[in-house]
Amino acid sequence: MIQFLSQQNPEIFHNTTVLVRLDLNVPLIDGRVAVSDAGRIHASIPTLEYLRNAGARTVIVSHIGRESHETLRPVADFLNTIIPVDFVSAYDTNMQPGDIVMLENLRQHPGEETNDSSFVAKLVTGIDYYVNDAFAVCHRTHASVVGVPQVLGHTKCFAGFQLEREIHFLDQGLHPQHPAVLIMGGAKFETKLPVITSMLPQVGHVIMGGALLNNFLVRMGYEIGKSLVDEHANIDGLISNEKIIIPQRVISQGEQRGIERDITEVLLNERIVDIAPSSFDIADIADVLHNAKTIIWNGPMGNYENGYTAGTEKLIRMIAGTDAMKIIGGGDSVALIEQLHLSEKFDFLSTGGGAMLEYLAQNGSLPGIAVLQK
Ligand code: ADP
Ligand code: MG
């Protein structure tokens, strides 16, 4: 059993020190948090509010960026506009009940990623309870994700409000209402193939998009020119599966800006860069989406960084218009939904990309969640 923070008596936290692992890894633009990128910060507020009101001394830990020298200070500044928080190099015994502090980027310490026992020992010093509200790192065996709860013991560990939401909704993806559809885009087959394989028995259809589609087209004997393919992907087990839906119209780019083509018409010197929006109007896809009771989607339909967002935008509008339970993940897809101001049309936007994929592929067992259950 996982102990959910939402189900505890807040009094147990009064006058205790609680280490909270958050995922505050947001992009910084000119060293600042852009309001439009602050989704993960806002998702952390319910847990922080709860602990503050309970009279806990809350110590926030998180990582940010890819380089170990990056700082969380701008995130603390942003958070401080919502809830009072002090950015500190170490917390001390002067903290009062209800106080919140944030420590520097965990990944400045090499022991975080190696789950080093002496770094874990440092993290748990003076700590009474641990709360994990960082779903996006629950697939990582890091000190702040796995090491700390292992040392404290599961009776002192809790899943925060956002982690509870992730588990609740992704479990509805694992055990969907039928008919259910899985939509997979993006480029990295190694992270998507295990999801497709493990979810196939649960869903009626899998719609392929993004560069993943190119692997299918090659195997089906179509010319794909210079399109991106994942050389290492082995799709033998999927290629003749009748649940897999292949969009029939794509955007193909040669010397000029991409143009719409049938999948049979792509030229040798071109590359497929997006799913043509019209693909989603063709009956087999439109009906499948329209009739679905559950839609699970991860990964963009096209090479959006180069402006090929039309396929993904069309898909977003199509999904938004259905009555299905809508479970979406992947930073890029969620960002596009937010840009289109359609977030409220979706039941659930996961804060985890890789973690969501592993959750679906591993039937819900991630190291950071399993350790809370023991
Ligand atoms: P996610 O991050 O959503 O999990 P991936 O990391 O697997 O997905 O892939 C995202 C990348 O896939 C983006 O950089 C996007 O530009 C790229 N992509 C999608 N479709 C294509 C395509 N047809 N050609 C080239 N790149 C593509
Ligand atoms: Mg990615």
Distance, CA of 83 to CA of 8 (rounded, Å): 22
Distance, CA of 302 to CA of 315 (rounded, Å): 11
Measured from the CA of 191, which atom of ligand 1 is nearest?
7
CA of 121 to the centre of ligand 1 (A): 39
CA of 162 to the centre of ligand 2 (A): 22
Measured from the CA of 189, which atom of ligand 1 is nearest?
7
User: Which two three-digit tokens encode residue 316?
Assistant: 């977003």
Dihedral angle sign, alpha carbons of residues 113, 51, 154, 163: negative
CA of 190 to the centre of ligand 2 (A): 11
The residue type found at 121 is A
User: Which two three-digit tokens encode residue 263?
Assistant: 């999948």
Measured from the CA of 227, which atom of ligand 1 is nearest?
24
User: Which two three-digit tokens encode residue 240?
Assistant: 């003749």
CB-side neighbour CA atoms (13 Å) of 302? 29
Q: How far is CA 229 from the centre of its chain?
A: 23
Ligand minimally distant from the alpha carbon of residue 312: 1
Kindly report the protein residue whose alpha carbon is nearest to atom 10 of ligand 1: 186
CA of 41 to the centre of ligand 2 (A): 20
Token pair 């190291």 is found at 367
Ligand minimally distant from the alpha carbon of residue 250: 1
CA of 239 to the centre of ligand 1 (A): 20
Ligand minimally distant from the alpha carbon of residue 276: 1
**pLDDT tens profile 308-357:** 999 999 999 999 999 999 999 988 898 899 899 999 999 999 999 999 99
User: Which two three-digit tokens encode residue 160?
Assistant: 């925060």
| Binned average pLDDT, 10 residues per bin, the chain of 374 residues | 97 98 94 89 97 98 93 97 95 92 97 98 97 98 98 98 98 98 94 95 98 96 97 91 97 96 98 98 94 97 96 98 96 89 95 95 97 90
If you ran DSSP here, which 8-state letter would residue 247 be given? -
CA of 310 to the centre of ligand 1 (A): 14
Ligand minimally distant from the alpha carbon of residue 357: 1
Measured from the CA of 274, which atom of ligand 1 is nearest?
23
Ligand minimally distant from the alpha carbon of residue 299: 1
Ligand 1 pocket test target in 25, 182, 188 with most atoms within 8 Å of CB: 188
Backbone angles phi, psi at 231, to 5 degrees: -60, -30
Kindly tell me the burial class for residue 218, based on how many C-beta atoms sit within 10 Å of its own C-beta (0-12, 13-18, 19 or more): middle
Tell me if 298 sits within 8 A of 189, measured CB to CB.
no
Distance, CA of 168 to CA of 162 (rounded, Å): 10
Kindly report the protein residue whose alpha carbon is nearest to atom 26 of ligand 1: 303
Ligand minimally distant from the alpha carbon of residue 300: 1
Q: Residue 35: what pLDDT?
A: 87
Name every protein residue with a CB atom under 6 angstroms from any ligand 1 atom: 186-188, 210-211, 228, 272-273, 298-300, 302-305, 330, 332-333, 353
Q: Residue 374: what pLDDT?
A: 72
pTM, entire model: 0.94
Distance, CA of 241 to CA of 157 (rounded, Å): 43
Measured from the CA of 308, which atom of ligand 1 is nearest?
16
CA of 266 to the centre of ligand 1 (A): 19
Token pair 């000190």 is found at 143
Measured from the CA of 298, which atom of ligand 1 is nearest?
3
Kindly tell me the burial class for residue 30, based on how many C-beta atoms sit within 10 Å of its own C-beta (0-12, 13-18, 19 or more): exposed
Q: Residue 92: what pLDDT?
A: 83
Measured from the CA of 329, which atom of ligand 1 is nearest?
3
Tell me if 24 sits within 8 A of 75, measured CB to CB.
yes
**Residue 187 neighbours by CB under 8 Å, 6+ apart:** 210, 211, 212, 228, 230, 299
Tell me if 143 sits within 8 A of 116, measured CB to CB.
yes
SS3 of residue 206 by DSSP: strand
User: Which two three-digit tokens encode residue 145?
Assistant: 């994700």
Measured from the CA of 304, which atom of ligand 1 is nearest?
16
Torsion of Cα atoms, 236 then 364 then 175 then 277, to 10°:
-60
Kindly tell me the burial class for residue 328, based on how many C-beta atoms sit within 10 Å of its own C-beta (0-12, 13-18, 19 or more): buried
